[in-house]
Chain A
């Protein structure tokens, strides 16, 4: 194949990133769509509770189980609450669960993995053993166990999700740290007197972040699905808190008898959010490392 012997003049990395992003978005309109959707979700979480027509917790048993109509766009649930308002307000909680889980696992897994890859030896072995033990469990079952043992609060759901995803982040971070451990710039930093921890935090971790970011958007989707699954078996968020998963769980009983709107709308919201995060992850992957496109 023809080599390009001379390279284009160097442009600022920000312009390069912008151009590259535009190219990727152009190549793949689906990614652009996912970005737009993501913005919508963020807006809904921030402004949702202020703009919904009904109080999500206000029940009105005279209006129970009404199908979608002009007053209640998504119908009402078994306690007469407006499904639309609940779905929109639930965005905030589910988005929070997603973000919190991902932040926690990035810190836990990312740091552990980077330390393991950088220091090697016992650090590596211990982190490896922990990761192997976690991975030996079917992951959802482990999450179930953790929440059941510690109590079903939002914090524990977030913790369980983080623990369950720990091995994956640790492994990716470790691999990246391993590659860079002997890199030139690390040697230079070491020689100029930087302590190992400084090198880890300021040289290696920032380099590992772009690669983990791809995984993080996928984990966001997983966190929401996990919370939903836990709610379904009774280990999730407690009623009457509006959360997509528990709304589906409560609505599922009515599904079999034909009142489909209870479960379908929150389920659809779930799917849209997770779908958006997954597509975002793909798009980010294209931007960060086109060779790894799937």
Chain B
């Protein structure tokens, strides 16, 4: 796993992303000031419980939000182009070619009445500068590259004739066909059995390192994130609460939520009654009186300062915590930059 070097430009940089949804029951402020970046070839994980906004972040970046959703502010810089403010024609160029995404439930994410080989070929023809005649052959090669046996025959098959794991491989093939520099994987292994999960994650990792591709894993499984990524971004109720290299995060988590999350992650050695849960529930994001820190109402470490707007991250920080009362940092080791009250924007 390659870790980010603060001096090279990131592959993708999300800054201050805010997303709202218009619903029958009011406006849901789904994302508030979400920022993170992923370096070239880096593997990052976006972690959080259901409803934390991880998938919404991905959809916003890719420009495939539900029509009820609006991006109210922010930028997503992909190699100099702001994805959130690009023209549809620019977006259509960049999607698939420079940034790609794979989704949960692979079987429904594939066109049910089109042979999988053709679906891969569509992307190759569109982005890969592959002449129409050669696309089917190259599609077969892609299938081989993702580890599908007998790819020539499988290319003519339909998704409903394949297992979940194979469908996921096909999705990976589609996503990687044009060799993008960033891959977003939204819960790629949910719904697959454990063995297949490991195989798929290995496959993604191998291809990523071969192609020098940055990967963003979206998952609720902190353990999985820990095994596979160099950096973890923890989200809660539409906020980024902590952003740190994996080892640091697990060794000394600083945000109270992260600590609870780690404690709640089941360990195969633990017994059932040792399972911890995080007290409280996600706040209702339609409220107009949401506190600046959306975790504060469930937080055991809440102090008076928590009613203020969250601290901004100092530029160049490698371990970011959005908290006024974080857990103590280790006294030795690399300095961790956290803004103090004066730096609040």
Chain A residues with CB under 8 Å of chain B are 1-6, 8, 23
**Chain B interface (Cβ within 8 Å of chain A)?**
21, 23-25, 28, 30, 50-51, 53, 55-56, 59, 66, 238, 281-286
Task: Name 11 interchain pairs, CB-CB below 8 A, sorted by A.
Answer: A1-B59, A2-B51, A2-B56, A3-B51, A4-B28, A4-B284, A5-B51, A5-B281, A5-B282, A5-B284, A6-B284
How many Å lie between the Cα of A23 and that of B53 in the bound state? Answer: 27
Q: Compute how far the CA of A4 lies from the CA of B285 in the bound complex, rounded to whole angstroms.
A: 7
* Cα A3 to Cα B286 with chains together (Å): 11
Which residue of the partner chain B has the closest CB to A23?
A: B24
Is B281's CB under 8 angstroms from A2's CB? no
Within 8 Å by CB of A2, from B24, B25, B238, lies B238
Known: A8-B25, A23-B24. A2 touches B66 (CB 8 A): no
A4 to B52, CA, bound (A): 10
Known contacts A8-B25, A23-B24; decide if A3 and B50 are in contact (CB<8 Å).
yes
Contact call B28/A6, Cβ cutoff below 8 A: no
Known: A6-B281, A23-B24. A1 touches B286 (CB 8 A): no
Residue of B nearest to A20 (CB): B24
Output the residue of A1, A2, A23 with the most chain B CB within 10 A.
A2
Closest Cβ neighbor of B52 among chain A residues:
A2
12 extra A-B contacts, CB within 8 A, seeds A3-B50, A5-B283, A23-B24:
A1-B56, A2-B21, A2-B30, A2-B51, A2-B53, A2-B56, A3-B51, A4-B51, A4-B286, A6-B282, A6-B284, A8-B25
Q: How far is the CB of B267 from chain A (nearest CB, A)?
A: 26
Query: Which residues of A sit under 8 angstroms from B53, Cβ to Cβ?
Result: 2
* Complex contacts, B25 vs chain A, CB 8 Å: 4, 8
Q: Do B284 and A1 touch across chains, with their CB atoms under 8 A apart? A: no
Q: Residue among A1, A6, A23 with the most chain B CB within 10 A?
A: A1
Q: Which secondary structure dominates where chain B touches chain A?
A: loop
| Cα distance A3–B285 in the bound complex, in angstroms | 9
B284 near A2 with CB under 8 A, answer no
Query: Which residues of B sit under 8 angstroms from A4, Cβ to Cβ?
Result: 23, 25, 28, 51, 284-286
Nearest CB to that of A19 among chain B residues? Answer: B24
Instruction: Give the nearest-CB partner of A8 in chain B.
Output: B25
**Shortest distance in angstroms between A25's beta carbon and chain B's nearest beta carbon?**
14
Bound complex: CA A5 to CA B59 (Å): 20
Hey, which chain A residues are within 8 Å of B21, CB to CB? 2
State in angstroms the CA–CA spacing of A191 and B60 once bound together: 51
On chain A, the residues within 8 Å of B30 by CB distance are: 2
Q: Is the CB of A1 within 8 A of B285?
A: no
A144 to chain B, nearest CB (A): 41
Cα(A230)–Cα(B281), bound, Å: 64
Q: Tell me if B66 and A1 are in contact (CB < 8 A).
A: yes
Complexed CA–CA distance, A5 and B278 (Å): 14
With both chains docked as a complex, state the minimum distance between the C-beta of B34 and any C-beta of chain A, in angstroms. 12
Minimum CB–CB distance from A19 to chain B (whole Å) comes to: 9
| Distance between Cα atoms of A13 and B329 in the complex (Å) | 53
User: Are B50's CB and A1's CB within 8 A?
Assistant: no
How long is the Cα–Cα vector from A4 to B50 in the complex, in angstroms? 10
**B290 → A minimal CB distance (Å):** 12
Q: How far apart sit A2 and B237, CA to CA, in the bound complex (Å)?
A: 9
The complex places the Cα of A23 from the Cα of B66 at a distance, in Å, of: 20
Chain A residues lying within 8 Å of B28, measured Cβ to Cβ, are 2, 4
Q: Which residues of B contact A5 (CB under 8 A)?
A: 51, 281-284
Chain B nearest CB from A193 CB (Å) reads 40
Query: When chains A and B are docked, how far (Å) is the Cα of A4 from the Cα of B283?
Result: 8
Q: For the complex of A and B, list the 10 residue pairs with the smallest distance between their C-beta atoms, beginning with the closest.
A: A3-B51, A5-B282, A2-B30, A6-B284, A5-B281, A5-B51, A2-B51, A2-B56, A3-B50, A2-B53
The chain B residue with its CB closest to the CB of A2 is: B30
B residues within 8 A CB of A1?
A: 55-56, 59, 66
Closest chain A residue to B26 by CB distance?
Answer: A8
Closest A residue to B69 using CB positions: A1
A2 vs B238: C-alpha distance when bound (angstroms): 9
Q: Report how far A74 CA is from B51 CA in the complex, Å.
A: 63
- Which A residues touch B286, using CB under 8 A? 4
CA distance A3 to B284 in the complex (A): 9
Bound Cα distance from A8 to B25, whole angstroms:
8
Complex CA gap A5/B24 in Å reads: 15
Nearest A residue to B29, CB-CB: A2
> Can you name the residue of chain A whose Cβ is closest to the Cβ of B284?
A6
Q: CA–CA, A1 to B24, complex, Å?
A: 15
Give the complex CA separation of A5 and B30 in angstroms.
Answer: 12
Distance A20 CA – B66 CA, assembled complex (angstroms): 22
Rounded to whole angstroms, the CA-CA distance of A1 and B55 in the bound complex is 6
* Chain A hits for B59, CB < 8 A: 1
Q: Which residue of B lies closest to A5 (CB)?
A: B282
Residues in A neighbouring B51, C-beta threshold 8 A: 2-5
Rounded to whole angstroms, the CA-CA distance of A4 and B282 in the bound complex is 8
Q: How many Å from the CB of B288 to the closest CB on chain A? A: 13
Complex Cα distance A6/B25, Å?
12
How long is the Cα–Cα vector from A46 to B340 in the complex, in angstroms? 77
* Docked CA distance A65–B286 (Å): 66
- In the complex, what distance in Å separates the CA atom of A4 from the CA atom of B30? 10
A23 CB contacts on chain B under 8 angstroms? 24
Chain A: CB-nearest residue to B54? A2
Could you say which residues of chain A place their CB within 8 Å of the CB of B282?
3, 5-6
Separation of A170 and B283 alpha carbons in the complex (Å): 46
The residue on A at minimum CB distance from B25 is A8
Nearest chain A CB to B316 CB, angstrom units: 31
* Shortest distance between the CB of A206 and any CB in chain B (Å): 25
State the CA gap A2–B284 with chains docked (Å): 11
Min CB–CB distance A293 → chain B (angstroms)? 14
> Inside 8 A of A3's CB, which chain B residues have their CB?
50-51, 282
The minimal Cβ–Cβ distance linking B27 to chain A, given in whole angstroms, is 12
Report the Cα distance A273→B131, complex, angstroms.
58
- Among residues of A, the one whose C-beta sits closest to the C-beta of B28 is A2
